[in-house]
A and B are shown apart, each in its own frame.
Chain A
Amino acid sequence: MADASWLTEFPDMSRRELLTIRKTLDSAYRDFSREYGDSIESLFDPLLSFLVWFEHLLIQTPWWIILFIITAIVHFATRSWKLSTGVVISLLLIGYFGMWEDTMRTLSIITVCTLLSIVLGIPIGILMSRSDRAQSIVTPLLDVMQTMPAFVYLIPVVMLLGIGKIPGVIAVVIYAIPPVIRLTNLGIRLVSKEILEAATAYGATPTQRLFGVQLPLAMPTIMAGINQTIMMALAMVVIASMIGVKGLGQPVLKSITNQYFTLGLLNGLAIVALAIIFDRVSQSYAKRTQKHLEGQDHG
């Protein structure tokens, strides 16, 4: 430190030291994944077989049955002829342009990822809403999950589990789960203190408070979270296709590398169509189940 070069240049560590650190960490992780990769992978086997089964189901079933079922679900959820007709037309167009199978693949993985996010996310959100400590631990984790470029956490996942559906699902869930957690937490915390006090005063147990008051009143916010989660999962489809998840993402990836503009556009539009279907259906379903919010401005 005799010379004063640290004034003009940042006194960083030497390249050799950095290299050692990188090598040590990399090889430690590589050893770990060689050692435990298989057993961890086998943990996910049930999920994988469900994924495969569900995808097969969607692809093997004749297209008109699927079309009918989807339309029926949409109509049941929204009770809107306009929306149902829109869904039928967009699905027919997707099929006509030869993207039916890819759309079904994407649909299956998005459905599974969304369900997984809800099943994991809502309990975590509830936990966060009950304890400030949990909130202070989970919040920065969610920040990292949302801002860390997806490619960075794809690396260890792929190293550990290889290429395929499971790493894809994990990547999508990591990216898509934060909104449902955050908004579950927020929704429960926003429930009026007096209403909660009323429930307590009449002798509601903590469970009765959670399921009878907090969750129902937080539902509009939670539904907004689920909606965001679905949108983000769809946005991850292309990135997930880089690690071998089949579906609408792969043709997009192919058209980037080969500059096939029309192919990219068509598949992109199919993703948009799926997104709009999911969005409108979940939103109008949420709205329909929140009948009590109508006429709120009265009195």
Chain B
Amino acid sequence: MASNENALIEIEGLYQIFGPNAEKVLPKVKAGASKDEVLAETGHTVGLQDINLAIDKGEIFVIMGLSGSGKSTLIRHFNRLIDPTAGKIKVNGDDIMTLPMKELTQFRRHKMSMVFQHFGLLPHRTVIENVGYGLSIKGLKRSEWEDKAKEWLDTVGLAGYEEQYPSQLSGGQQQRVGLARALCTDAEILLMDEAFSALDPLIRYDMQSQLIELQENLHKTIIFITHDLDEALRLGDRIAVLKDGKLVQVGKPVDIILNPADDYVRAFAKDVNRARALFVKNVMSPALPMCSSDNIEDLKLQLNEHGVAFRKIDDGVFEACTEIDSNDNAVWLAVASLKRNQLLQDILPTMLESKQPLPVIDKSQQLCGYLSHKALAKMLQLPHQTEAA
């Protein structure tokens, strides 16, 4: 059972069984009867079985699965739009299953907001009224929420659309309104139920970029549902794969691609273009072979261990050394720097032009690791497809 100190949300032993006598069927499901057996014997549908999750504060946690895998059912448990047949849902250590109706309403108003697949906007309210909905429902007057709503509308790039109705906007614009509405309540947890699935690919990509950008400043805890592995890999700090209501694998994007837990996940991961799915940070070595001085002994040590050493010229500008000539003189060469959050496909040209491993810098221009050709090549190698024959 996953349990850890940083967990903001914990789900323990969650079961969801649909049907008139769910309680009676529960022991059978707990005993390990399969979904089909339960359906054939009792007519009950098993939605979710034995879900255990711990979601950390500030991460984007993606729940992925095909349609019918129970992912949309699962996300509706976080704010109790659906009540489970059994199990605990803890937020900040408090079991929200025990909340009475009134406190549950307060919890929903303050702790979580949600973005829906088909936007879920109120068609009879203007865009600005939709953005401020979460606040107006708390009893705030228009004058109290209007400025804030305008700010968020501005942030998602829809300034000037305040008095339009949702039906006058395109799908992408409507979902931006949905996102602004979710952010406007200042809830620390954001639930996104296939939020971008109804949008066309270009707009979907834009929205993903926008979400990533927003998250860099907001550090919300985001639970994101999708059926699209590329989207999951792009957004997720961690990914949970759901199949037939069961968790198959929970792990970092790299784990999903490189160490799929079973054939189901493998089938998902097979078609992924790794250069487009993995980031520099997934492939780089997190070691920092820095040489601040011309201490040749230190340099030798670094070269032995990493095959490369860097020295800083300026913020974000480094020189690399891969060899020491016969006179014990280090050969320093100016190299390009890679960014942590660049996709592999974007750094491929730079990588190919360079003979040395390249330094990787973070947002504050500091060295946070390095990337070698060998590591990159290994990562881009297709998995051995033994079943292909």
Say whether, besides A203-B106, A203-B138, A197 and B116 are in contact (CB < 8 Å): yes
Is the CB of B251 closer than 8 A to any CB of chain A? no
Size category, B interface = 35 or more
Chain A min CB distance to B301 (Å): 56
CA distance A208 to B185 in the complex (A): 17
Looking at the assembled complex, report how far the CB atom of B308 sits from the nearest CB atom of chain A, in whole angstroms. Answer: 50
Interchain CB contact (< 8 A) of A298 among B105, B117, B168 = B168
What bracket does the count of chain A residues touching chain B fall in? 20 to 34
| Nearest CB of chain A from residue B141's CB, rounded to whole Å | 15
Segment from A63-71, A179-187, A287-295 that makes contact with B: A287-295
Q: Tell me whether A195 is interfacial, beta carbon within 8 Å.
A: yes
Taking a contact as CB atoms under 8 Å apart, the answer to whether B124 and A203 are in contact is no
Q: Cβ of B114 and Cβ of A295 under 8 Å apart?
A: no
Closest to A205 in B: B105
Tell me whether B167 and A296 are in contact (CB under 8 A). Answer: yes
Chain B residues, CB < 8 A from A263: none
Contact partners of A204 in chain B: CB under 8 A: 105, 137
Our pick among B105, B113, B171 for the contact of A299 (Cβ within 8 Å) is B171
Question: When each residue 198-225 of chain A gets 1 if its CB lies under 8 Å from chain B and 0 otherwise, what string results?
Answer: 1111111100100011001100000000
Contact A198 B121 (CB under 8 A): yes
Contacts of B168 in A (CB 8 A): 295, 298-299
Tell me the B321-354 residues at the A interface (CB within 8 Å): none
Is residue B112 contacting chain A, with contact meaning CB distance below 8 A?
yes
Q: Which of A103-134 contact B (CB under 8 A)?
A: none
Which among B123, B171, B181 is the interface contact of A292 at CB below 8 angstroms?
A: B123
Known: A201-B108, A203-B134, A204-B137. A194 touches B117 (CB 8 A): yes
Q: Any chain A CB within 8 A of the CB of B306? A: no
A291 lies within 8 A of B191 (CB): no
Identify which of B105, B117, B125, B174 gathers the most chain A CB atoms within 10 Å of its CB.
B105
Cross-chain contact of B109 among A195, A202, A217, A291 (Cβ < 8 A): A202
B192-232 to A contact mask, C-beta < 8 Å, 1/0:
00000000000000000000000000000000000000000
Are A216 and B109 touching (Cβ within 8 A)? Answer: no
Question: In the complex, which residue of chain A has the Cβ closest to the Cβ of B178?
Answer: A198
CB distance from A133 to the nearest CB of B (A): 15
| Distance A205 CA – B102 CA, assembled complex (angstroms) | 9
Cβ-defined contact, A200 with B108, below 8 A: yes
> A295 to B138, alpha carbons, bound, how many Å?
31
A201 with B112: CB separation less than 8 A: yes
Contact A217 B124 (CB under 8 A): yes
**Docked CA distance A177–B19 (Å):** 36
Residues of A within 8 A of B112 (CB): 201
- Those of B96-120 within 8 Å (CB) of chain A: 105-110, 112-114, 116-120
A195–B121 contact, CB under 8 A? yes
Q: Is B279 an interface position by the 8 A CB rule?
A: no
Closest residue of chain B to A292 (Cβ to Cβ) is B165
In Å, the complex CA distance between A291 and B105 comes to 31
List, in ascending order, chain B residues with CB within 8 A of A292's CB.
Answer: 123-125, 165-167
Q: Is B120 a contact partner of A198 (Cβ separation < 8 A)?
A: yes
Min CB distance A273 to B, Å, is 33
With both chains docked as a complex, state the minimum distance between the C-beta of B45 and any C-beta of chain A, in angstroms.
18
Across the interface, which residues of A come within 8 angstroms of B185, CB to CB? 202
**Residues in B whose Cβ lies below 8 Å from that of A299:** 167-171, 173-174
Closest to A195 in B: B120
Q: Which residues of A contact B61 (CB under 8 A)?
A: none
Bound-state CA distance A66–B106 (Å) is 52
Residues of A within 8 A of B137 (CB): 199, 202-204, 208, 212
CB distance from A37 to the nearest CB of B (A): 46
Q: Which residue among A199, A200, A216, A290 has the maximum number of chain B CB atoms within 10 Å of its CB? A: A200
Q: A192-B118, A195-B123, A203-B106 are in contact. List 17 more A-B contacts (CB 8 A).
A: A192-B120, A197-B120, A198-B120, A200-B108, A201-B112, A202-B108, A202-B133, A202-B137, A202-B185, A203-B110, A292-B124, A295-B165, A298-B168, A298-B169, A299-B168, A299-B170, A299-B171
Closest 7 CB pairs of A and B: A203-B109, A198-B120, A203-B108, A299-B170, A201-B114, A292-B165, A202-B134
Binding site for A on B (CB under 8 A): 76, 79, 81, 105-110, 112-114, 116-125, 133-134, 137-138, 165-171, 173-174, 181, 185, 191
